[in-house]
Amino acid sequence: MPGDGSLERLRREGRIVVVGASLAGLRAAEALRAKGFEGSLTMIGDEPHEPYDRPPLSKQVLLGRAAADRTALPRLRPVDATWRLGVPASGLDMAARRVRLADGDEVPYDRLLIATGVRARPWPHEAEAELDGVFVLRTRDDSAALARRLDAGPKRVLVIGAGFTGSEIASACRERGLPVTVAERGSAPLVGALGGVVGSVAAELQREHGVDLRCGVMVTALEGDTSGRVRAAHLSDGSTVEADVVIVSLGATRNTEWLAGSGLGAGPRGIACDAGCRAFDIRGIVTDDIYAAGDVARSPHALFGYQFLSLEHWGNAVSQARIAAHNMLSESTDRLPHMEVPAFWSAQFGVNIKSVGAPSLGTEILISQGSLQERRFVGVYGYQGRVIGAVAFDHARWLPFYRELIETTASFPPPFDNVDRRPGGQRPIDADFPDPSVPTHGPTVTLSGYSPADRRMTFTPAH
């Protein structure tokens, strides 16, 4: 109750438990301490490592420029926590306010933050997935094992799935001079996140850098030799690729199984929470003591008609962590909504790819600056007459402008002239996203629910 001192007590001697000791969990813990939380803080993580940064795992580490065990996140301030690392949470008792751990222990809380993130989706055929040489890439240990194998100089690497991670892996392999085949179910790399128009540029990039790119095919089976090492993959077009390293890069699965039966609104699509990161229970009623942040959370976004968005983005984890921490320690009237415009980056084949907004929700694209042929451009995505996203290839410095267009729900196509508008950028074309009914692993922004209704809504970001 506001003003009854309970918040003050929470601040002074409360117990906050954070499940998930990665980026969102750490930044939330730091924010709690920065906001004066003096009670006990427990960090629970299934991996035995202190919080580390994941983006380098598919880039610097595979290039051999950094060791996989050397990507621990910098500490912005002391968190003075009890760390329970190497043991996953296995259950939640909402009524008793306790988190159960896999080792049988139970940890009581007054406030709980769930930031359990996602894990790599494994190869669906279990026996094939266990062949030696078959990898996924999500964790530090995955990256270390893969980097070691790449060091050994495999004869050919097969990457299954050309989303961002798969493409980055292919890029690193090529830079190391390794022969690479990429098999992608869609029509082009990155097609789920950025559509076919931009995907075709990504495809050219890959081929130009010597990737044997096969699109519109599925890998139907992995084949091992007698010693249990992978030796080949069979493709849906009848072809076979001989490869001694196979990296399965088919997207991610949300880590919510441990919440099954808890009564929390958690499922395969994540944990539903409000714009202030408070989790919903299965009845659709918002809880007041359980929060979610990062990849595992899905929450309504003001810019997209309050539809629920799941964002597997680094920046989203950081900003939700801050919001959740703030709101845990605030009266209801002082709570803040999470409304950062989604933003994403990927570096591959020497090109810096950045996006703002939600390109995958767009239907049309207009190349407003530069050209696809030169691979230096800005593409603006439109949806029902408004700007909903933008992507830049080596054009990052312009993106703040497009973010403002998205924030102000500017009209699409942009009605103005600007520098470096080429003949090919005079009118929008179909962005060429795959049929949404066909599952893809690509998009990093996914959305459910109704369409943005109020097209002239003004969105004012907090500076």
In the bound state with another protein, the residue whose beta carbon lies nearer, of 284 and 415, is 415
Contact letters for another protein, residues 93-132 (x by CB under 8 A): ----------x-x---------------------------
Which of 70, 125, 155, 455 contacts another protein by CB under 8 A? 70
Residue 58 interacts with another protein (CB under 8 A): yes or no: no
Select the span of 43-51, 153-161, 178-186, 429-437 touching another protein (CB under 8 A): 43-51
Q: Which residues in 296-315 contact another protein (CB under 8 A)? A: 313-315
CB-based burial label for 39 (10 Å; 0-12, 13-18, 19+) = middle
| CA atoms of 246 and 129, how far apart (whole Å) | 10
Q: Are 77 and 39 in contact (CB under 8 A)?
A: no
Which of 11, 15, 49, 97 contacts another protein by CB under 8 A? 49
Q: Judged by CB under 8 A, how many residues of this single chain contact another protein?
A: 65
Which residues fall within 8 angstroms of residue 151, CB to CB, at 6 or more apart?
64
Residue 396 interacts with another protein (CB under 8 A): yes or no: yes
Map tokens 């490592």 to a residue.
49
Residue 330 interacts with another protein (CB under 8 A): yes or no: no
Q: Is 415 helix (H, G, I), strand (E, B) or coil?
A: coil
Which of 240, 373, 418, 426 contacts another protein by CB under 8 A? 418
Which of 39, 55, 179, 263 contacts another protein by CB under 8 A? 55
Residue 139 interacts with another protein (CB under 8 A): yes or no: no
Residue 185 CA: distances (Å) to CA of 18, 36, 178, 300, 440: 37, 50, 22, 30, 8
Which of 12, 65, 155, 207 contacts another protein by CB under 8 A? 65
Q: Which residues in 332-351 contact another protein (CB under 8 A)? A: 343-345, 347, 350-351
Which of 11, 53, 121, 267 contacts another protein by CB under 8 A? 53
Which of 17, 62, 79, 390 contacts another protein by CB under 8 A? 79
Select the span of 147-155, 180-188, 331-339, 414-422 touching another protein (CB under 8 A): 414-422
| 229-235 long-range Cβ contacts below 8 angstroms, 24+ apart | 229/131, 229/132, 229/133, 230/128, 230/131, 230/132, 230/133, 230/134, 233/158, 233/160, 233/183, 235/183
Cβ 12 to another protein, closest distance in Å?
20
Which of 35, 100, 204, 401 contacts another protein by CB under 8 A? 401
Of 52, 31, 14, which is closest to residue 320 (Cα–Cα)?
31
Map tokens 């799941």 to a residue.
310
Residue 420 interacts with another protein (CB under 8 A): yes or no: yes
Cβ 367 to another protein, closest distance in Å?
12
| CA atoms of 297 and 309, how far apart (whole Å) | 8
Residue 86 interacts with another protein (CB under 8 A): yes or no: yes
Residue 72 interacts with another protein (CB under 8 A): yes or no: yes
Residue 373 CA: distances (Å) to CA of 201, 298, 355, 368, 397: 8, 36, 19, 14, 20
CB neighbourhood size of 426 (10 A): 11
Q: Are 378 and 366 in contact (CB under 8 A)?
A: no
Q: Are 239 and 189 in contact (CB under 8 A)?
A: no
Q: Are 458 and 409 in contact (CB under 8 A)?
A: yes
Q: Are 450 and 305 in contact (CB under 8 A)?
A: yes
State the chain's maximal CA–CA distance in angstroms.
Answer: 70
Select the span of 11-19, 154-162, 289-297, 373-381 touching another protein (CB under 8 A): 373-381
The footprint of another protein (CB under 8 A) covers 48-50, 53, 55-56, 59-60, 63, 65-67, 70-87, 103, 105, 313-315, 318, 343-345, 347, 350-352, 354, 368-370, 374, 376, 378, 394-401, 404, 416-420, 463
